[in-house]
Amino acid sequence: ILMELGNQIGRSVEFVAQERDVQHLADDMNRQYLAYISAYSQKFKDEYTKKYVAEAPGKILNKIDQIREIENSLHFLDPQLLEQINGYLDTLAMAVSPPERQMWDGAFKNLAFLLEKSIVDAQAQTQRLLVRSRDITASAIRGGILLMLAMLVLSGGVAYLIAKRISRPIAHLRQATRYARQGKYNIRVPFESHDEIADLTADFNAMMDALGELDRMKAMFLSSITHDLKSPLYRVRLGIENLVDGIHGSLNPEQMRTLEQILKDLDTLSRLIYDILDLQKLESGRFELHLEDVKIEDFVRETVRKHAISFADKGVGLAMKLKLKDAVVRMDVRQIERVFENLLSNALKFTPRGGKVVVIGGVDGDYVHFVVKDNGPGMTKEEAERVFDKFYRASTGKNVSGTGLGLAITKQIIEAHHGKIWVETEPGRGSEFHFLIPLAG
């Protein structure tokens, strides 16, 4: 059963990689179609444009055929989903010549949704297989223990050697599956035998290699695209600010409101880009901390007071209960301030008008212990286990603005200071975010 699970996991990972390739091919096809539409709609076309308009439909249809061929070769794909994908590919083909933009956009949007759905379903299946593998491994361990007890009655020492040989590689696999669930794909299980468990170990390590490569490619893509976006965003912002400042002429009130809203949206996008870049640096160990000794109580009071106006505007109370005396912490001031900003902003988003947020701090052995406590909707146990994951949004936060990176960055910052962070919460009873930072010295 474990070998078959390993094979299924391998096929699932391979399927996700192939579907990602199809997504890239589809995106390239869509960009080509939009360029074709733009050229086709020009009233006066030069010879180059006419040639491009004549050749583009064939190239687009060729990409549609490539996608169709790949999808039809994926045995892991649900037949009903494959039929829908082929249907939308047929619609895209009909929208090529003559070009029908509305037909194309509708079909491409549905195709992109189905491709993403197939990947999400496959990843969910992989997760279920990993959980099942863990459960079977746990059952095998329990069975091994029972076998050991029976053999102890019969032959003592022989049973001990057998149980040790069986349980150790299985325990390693079980531990490795836990790391896989946390997104840590650099763990490899050592080979300790030459039997079926060794085959399963090989399949598991191959799966971790594939998942690690996918995660690395995703990180490289995010890093690359965020770097490439910074300069264009800066130029866009500079141009809009020039318009707002009246450099290119006066604006009416409606135009001014529109541009100011665009600037706010650019600020949001810029924050997302810098959050992604900072998270990549933190995860790779390339983030440099500027450490200094700080009297922590004064620092916390000043930092929390900065948020008093935003809390008052929403009608949410903000209080502090600090018993830090003369405690000194060696820390990066800007980054720990960022931790408080993320936790307080998060608490404000989820606390209803009339609610209250309390910041509690005290000395706990060799650490300072902080708690940011709110009386918002709270979370389930399953949501609390994933709340520090990148881009994760709990069910109560689906309609709340944010990038989904704040808590992930917060966790990385605390761990970079050799601290620890966790959450205590229950549905309907609010949340308490705890974190520890070592005292100086």
DSSP 65-88: HHHHHHHHH-TTS-HHHHHHHHHH
Which CA distances in Å does 317 have to 79, 300, 359, 433? 55, 17, 11, 17
List the beta bridge partners of residue 437: 368
> What are 297's two structure tokens?
């109580």
The CATH number for 291-438, chosen from 3.20.20.140, 3.90.180.10, 3.30.565.10, 3.20.20.10, is 3.30.565.10
Closest CA to 116 of 124, 106, 128: 124
Alpha carbons within 13 angstroms on the beta-carbon side of residue 186 total 2
Measured distance CA(416)–CA(419) in Å, rounded: 7
Which CA distances in Å does 222 have to 117, 274, 277, 323, 402? 21, 11, 8, 42, 18
* pLDDT score of 221 more than 60: no
Residue 57 preceded by cis peptide, ω within 30: no
* pLDDT score of 267 more than 80: no
- The more confident residue out of 316 and 272 is 316
Q: What is the largest CA-CA distance in the chain?
A: 96
Q: Confidence band (pLDDT; 50, 70, 90) for 309?
A: very high
Decide: 403 and 307 in contact? Cβ < 8 Å: no
| Contact partners, residue 347, CB within 8 Å, separation at least 6 | 357, 372, 373, 374, 376, 431, 433
Which CA distances in Å does 367 have to 131, 382, 410, 419? 36, 28, 17, 8
400-409 pLDDT, tens digit per residue, is: 555 667 888 8
Of the listed ranges 188-197, 248-257, 335-344, the least confidently predicted one is: 188-197
Please tell me the predicted confidence (pLDDT) of residue 143.
76
Please tell me the predicted confidence (pLDDT) of residue 167.
64
Please tell me the predicted confidence (pLDDT) of residue 133.
77
Measured distance CA(215)–CA(228) in Å, rounded: 20
Which CA distances in Å does 399 have to 361, 395, 396? 31, 9, 8
Decide: 141 and 174 in contact? Cβ < 8 Å: yes
DSSP 3-state assignment of 372? strand
For the chain, the average pLDDT equals 82
Report which secondary-structure segment, H or E, holds 359.
strand 356-364
Name the residue ranges covered by the structural domains of the chain: 1-182, 216-284, 291-438
* Other beta carbons within 10 Å of 438: 16
Of the listed ranges 135-139, 185-189, 396-400, the least confidently predicted one is: 396-400
* pLDDT score of 329 more than 90: yes
Please tell me the predicted confidence (pLDDT) of residue 370.
96
Query: Global pTM?
Result: 0.47
Measured distance CA(261)–CA(269) in Å, rounded: 12
Q: Give the residue carrying structure tokens 């405690």.
A: 327
* pLDDT score of 388 more than 60: yes
Mean pLDDT of 141-165: 72
- Please, where are the H alpha helices in 156-292? 157-181, 196-244, 253-284
Please tell me the predicted confidence (pLDDT) of residue 284.
61
Measured distance CA(90)–CA(108) in Å, rounded: 11
Q: Give the residue carrying structure tokens 């212990």.
A: 369
Mean pLDDT of 247-268: 81
